[in-house]
Structure formats: C-alpha cells, structure tokens
Amino acid sequence: MTKRALVVIDLQEDFLPPNGSLAIQDGRTIVPAINELLCESELKKWDLVVASQDWHPANHTSFASQHAVSPFTELEFQNPETGETKTQVVWPDHCIQGTHGACFAPSFANKLEKVQNGAISKAVVIKKGYLQDREYYSCFQDSWGLHHTEMKSVLETNKIDEAVFVGLAYDYCVMHSAIDCAKSGFKTYVVKSLCKSVDPEKINDTDEMYRINGVIIVDSISEIID
Ligand SMILES: [Zn+2]
C-alpha cells in the first residue's frame, strides 16, 4: 500500500487577505477546500498530515525593515558559513513568532487539531524560518541548504512514499518545499487549484520550475486518488 502525506504549506494569517501583512491575492479562497481534505471521510487518503508554519524572530533577515529598504526589494545575501552570495527578495515583516499573523487560519487550525486528536491520521506541524540570519522557503531547509528541519525525517519515520502539496505560496514556499521533497526521493505532487501565487503573472515559469525538478502538477486531488 502506498503511504501518502498531505503537506499544507503556510496557511497562516499574514499570508491571507484581508489583513495579512504579506497577503497573497485570493489566498483565503483555498482554505475551505483544504479544510475539506481534513474531513473525516477524506482522512483515509492520508497516512500523515503535515502543516508547515513560517516562524520568524522579530528581527529576521528576510524582513525589509531590517535593511532599511522597501519590501520586495532584491538584496544580496551572504551564506552564513561560506560567504557565498546570492540575491533574494525582502518582505514585509510577517509570521513573527507568537503573533496573530503567525497563526494558522482559524478554520484550518480547528481541523488540524481534530486530526491531531483523532485516530485516523497522524498530524504534525513543522516550523521553519526560526534562525534569524537566513531565509527559508522550503519546509525542509533554509535557502542555503545548511540547516535542516525535521521534515525529511518525519516523512521517513512514517514510511511515506508520496506527498501531495497544497497551500501558499505556489511560487515560493510550496514550490521550494515540493522540489526538496522530490529531490529527497518521494513521489511528489502539487495541486495547483489549492495554491495561490505571489506573482500569478509568472505562472508558466513557476510551472516549469516544478516540472524540471520532478514535481507532478495536478489540478485536483481526484487525479491522484479516487
Ligand atoms: Zn517568511
């Protein structure tokens, strides 16, 4: 039997309209359909449910405010270990540990708690972004690949064969997480209708990034599971 994980990326208030500091257009519209996947009748599809949570200290280096520039500026960042540099976007302050903005959408939090307390599937929360000096898009590792979260070992411990990704944002954290998942050897799907992008105009480039990195794009769960 194929063992399957549902991975819900960053369904947190700061990424959701109308009040999120880094609200993704129409981000909240996908929440009800994701919640549906956690209903009792649907849970048998998942051996494991993972929810990732962006979880930054207030002075995180991915915040524009730390560099006295406007959000969405591109800046050069240095690898904390090797000194290598690369250009990354800086963001409005978001998902600061313990704040309302870091909380999951309430209806999703509710569903997740029910899964955690129930007997059908196992649910875990994976936090990322908590080391101050580096960006994290992937729930597996920081953007330099230096620090690894427990994500891979959670999938391995639960003997997961394939993972299905949904959430926010399609062109950042979902993409980097799904690509790392595929590269780690798991069969990896992304459900496009259950994601929203920061930059919807670049959707074709984003799709291509998924494809060349071995992630299967589907429009709905029914393409994967009956
Ligand atoms: Zn972040």
pLDDT above 90 covers a percentage of the chain that reads 94
> Would you call 199 a catalytic residue per the annotation?
no
Q: Would 144 be classed as within a structural domain? A: yes
By C-alpha distance, which of 85, 159, 147, 97 is closest to 122? 159
pTM confidence score = 0.97
Q: Give 40 Cα–ligand 1 centroid separation in angstroms.
A: 31
Whether the predicted pLDDT of 203 surpasses 80: yes
pLDDT-based confidence at 118, cuts 50/70/90?
confident
Q: Residue 51 belongs to a domain with what CATH number?
A: 3.40.50.850
Q: Would 90 be classed as within a structural domain? A: no
Domain of 108, in residue numbers: 4-58+98-223
Q: Which of 93, 95, 111, 128 is catalytic?
A: 128
Q: Are 174 and 196 in contact (CB under 8 A)?
A: no
pLDDT-based confidence at 107, cuts 50/70/90?
very high
Q: What pLDDT was estimated at residue 78?
A: 93
Q: Give 62 Cα–ligand 1 centroid separation in angstroms.
A: 7
> Would you call 10 a catalytic residue per the annotation?
yes
Whether the predicted pLDDT of 115 surpasses 90: yes
Q: Would 203 be classed as within a structural domain? A: yes
By C-alpha distance, which of 37, 45, 11, 9 is closest to 149? 9
User: HSE (CB half, 13 Å, CA atoms) of 92?
Assistant: 10
Amino acid letter at 55? W
Q: Give 105 Cα–ligand 1 centroid separation in angstroms.
A: 16
Q: Are 133 and 61 in contact (CB under 8 A)?
A: yes
Q: Which of 139, 173, 181, 195 is catalytic?
A: 173
Q: Are 182 and 213 in contact (CB under 8 A)?
A: yes
Amino acid letter at 126? I
> Would you call 47 a catalytic residue per the annotation?
no
The beta-strand segments (E) located in the chain are 4-9, 48-54, 74-78, 85-89, 122-128, 162-168, 187-196, 216-218
Determine the length of the chain.
226
Q: Would 69 be classed as within a structural domain? A: no
Q: Would 92 be classed as within a structural domain? A: no
Whether the predicted pLDDT of 121 surpasses 90: no
Q: How many domains does the chain have?
A: 1
Q: Give 120 Cα–ligand 1 centroid separation in angstroms.
A: 31
pLDDT digits (tens, 9 = 90+) for 17-56: 999 999 999 999 999 999 999 998 999 999 999 999 999 9
pLDDT digits (tens, 9 = 90+) for 123-144: 999 999 999 999 999 999 999 9
